[in-house]
Chain A
Amino acid sequence: MAATAKKKVKNSSFGQTVIDGKNVTKIFGETVTALEGADFNIRAGEFISLVGPSGCGKSTLLRLVAGLIEKTSGDLTVNNEVVTKPRTDIGMMFQKAVLLDWRTAIENVLLPSEIQHRITQDDKNKAMASLDLVGLKGFEFHFPKQLSGGMQQRVALARLIQTGANIMLMDEPFGALDEFTRERLNIELERIVGELKATTLFVTHNIQEAIFLADRVLVMTPRPGRIAKIIDVDFDRPRDISIQTSRDFNIIVEEVRDTLGGH
């Protein structure tokens, strides 16, 4: 088993810094410190997992990067530009699929294109390809309510791909799904993100999932929300689910547990 878990040369394959946070702090109201003094530096093409118990500021960090909320202090840049509002090169996926019930799968996937301009045949072809990529060929004309929870999240992923955003923010996207569906989607997500070479920030409170997907894991602790540790994960890609039982993998699991356990 451990044979599949070869180490590779440490993170040399990533490009320059895409997301840069220095001492980022977010205080809600006067008293709730959701995120305190967060330093992070994310490079092009990297897959970053954010793991930690609920309330430790994972969603807050994501929404700060997305430009959905404003930081209280610190510096935060995306592609060397200060984040002030949402931008179309950043796409987002939520715990809920957030699909429009009155639109078929493909019409939902086309939504981002439609917001930007009139739909072209190119957009339609691209939407078909996105649905194919997430394994929904043949379901283009199904409505959300005709699809299972896992398939709805696949549509949401196809919609995210359709935006063409090269930074993807995912807030517990598979958190509401059952264990089997979640595992299968994780494997496919690993494959898809690899193909797209997008920079990804992935929030989860499942340690295995976080490590399996990530190039680096940001371990966060609550009260106040902090980045406690950043751990490198150097398994070759594409990854096989069997690495989860390897020794190296479990060493990392222990490291994450230790970091979280101290809090």
Chain B
Amino acid sequence: MKTMNFVISFLKYSLSFVIVLGLWEAYARYGGLNELFLPRPSKIGDKLYNLFFKFEIIEQGTIYWHFFATLAQMSIGFCYGIIIGNTLAIIAAFNETFRRYIAPYAVVFNVTPGIAVLPLIIAWFGFGWESKIALATLVCFFPPFINTLTGLLKKNDEAIELFQTIGATHSQYFWKQQLPNALPEIFAGLKLAITTALLGTIVAQFGSATEGVGILMQRFAFRLDMAGSFASLVTMAIMGLLVFTIAEVLDRRIVFWRDTKGLERVSRKKQRKLSSND
């Protein structure tokens, strides 16, 4: 029954997708579209086919190389971002003075469009990978910082008293209650960071680069190769979906107690584990 429902809804989505593409294609063929602005889907499809299966070389690399380079820069920037964001959050959670004096900067920092400092970033880090990683880090550290801080500061007087009465140390309280209790917020921060890191990486590639999907897009657009530009856009969307799905799956696995399905799954698993031990 479940798989049946899934198949039906999948068919519905595919059908609506095909209809939209079909109308778009028909309208373009009828001549209603200036294809210098919006190319027809079949041309974008051709371009994607050339890029992915004919290994067309752009700027010394195939699409796979550009894809990989972007993914790598983004991942490194993302890792730095979440390390910095979470470290600051933990320090701020435990140190009131730090929290009081760092918070105003964090807020100002957050309302300053990080993307706008790209020229500075290039001046500091040059034209190589460093500047892409740096911009990704810069634009993505804030969501983990603020979310983790919020999660760790969730008011929980009863839990504190409970842990005191059972003789827990501060570190036991942190590891067994405060940190797991903050996991939903921590993951919300990570999910935001992953998309902003991708944005930062691609924008930095616009500034100057020899590889990356950002540079792909720019080269095509400068040549007025609209099909190519849109093919780059589709590639970016695929990348975004990929990283977001990974984050989503991890979130569901680790913060399983947020929804009934997760609770039931883990509950059953633990029960099975016990009965196989006996």
Measured CB to CB, the residues of A under 8 A from B are 63, 66, 68, 86-88, 90-92, 94, 96, 98, 100-102, 104, 111-112, 114-116, 141-143, 145-146, 163
Contacts and interface: CB of A to CB of B under 8 A. Distances in A.
B267 A104 contact: yes
B257 A102 contact: yes
Main secondary structure, interface of B, reads helix
B165 interface: yes
A98 B172 contact: no
A145 B165 contact: no
B161 A145 contact: no
A101 B165 contact: no
A145 B257 contact: yes
Interface string B223-262: 0000000000000000000000000000000001100100
Given A86-B167, A163-B166, A111 B161 contact: no
B164 A145 contact: no
A92 B260 CA distance: 29
Given A100-B176, A102-B257, A92 B267 contact: no
A141 B271 contact: yes
Given A143-B257, A143-B263, A146-B267, A98 B159 contact: yes
A68 B164 contact: yes
A148 to B, nearest CB: 14
Contacts of B274: 141
Given A100-B180, A102-B180, A116-B167, A68 B161 contact: yes
Contacts, number: 65
A114 B167 CA distance: 11
A94 B165 CA distance: 11
Given A143-B263, A145-B257, A112 B166 contact: yes
Contacts of B260: 145-146
Nearest to B173: A115
Nearest to A100: B177
Given A115-B166, A115-B167, A96 B267 contact: no
B158 A86 contact: no
A66 B162 contact: no
Contacts of B164: 68, 86
Main secondary structure, interface of A, reads loop
B15 interface: no
Interface in B136-169: 158-159, 161-168
A101 B256 CA distance: 10
A90 B158 contact: no
B263 to A, nearest CB: 5
Nearest to B272: A141
B168 A98 contact: no
B54 interface: no
B165 A92 contact: yes
B166 A146 contact: no
Nearest to A146: B263
B173 to A, nearest CB: 9
Given A98-B158, A100-B181, A115-B163, 8 more contacts: A91-B165, A104-B270, A115-B172, A116-B167, A145-B260, A145-B263, A146-B260, A163-B166
